[in-house]
Amino acid sequence: MVRWGGRDADGDVGAPDVGDPDVGALDIGAPEVGDAILKGSSLGRFSFRVPGFTLPSSANPMHQLVIIALGSNLGDRLARLQEAITALRNVAVPGTWRQSSVYQTEPVACPDDSPDFYNAVVSFQFDCSATQLHAHTIAIEQALGRERSGINAPRTIDLDLLVFGNECIDTPDLQIPHPRLHLRRFVLEPMAEIHPEWRLPTQQVAIATLLQQLDPLEPALQRVVADW
Left (φ > 0), alpha (ψ -120 to 50) or beta: where does 16 sit?
beta
Say whether the peptide bond before residue 177 is cis (omega within 30 degrees of 0): yes
Whether the CA torsion 168, 61, 197, 100 is positive or negative: it is: positive
- Structure-derived torsion over alpha carbons of residues 178, 181, 184, 188, reported in degrees to the nearest 10: 130
Active site residues: 146, 155, 158, 160
Alpha carbons 208 and 205: distance in angstroms, whole number: 8
Contact between 107 and 114 (Cβ < 8 Å): yes
Contact between 158 and 70 (Cβ < 8 Å): yes
Biggest CA-to-CA distance, the chain: 53
Neighbour count for residue 95 (Cβ, 10 Å): 9
- DSSP characters over 114-147: PPPEEEEEEEEEE-S-HHHHHHHHHHHHHHTT--
CA atoms within 13 A on the CB side of 120: 25
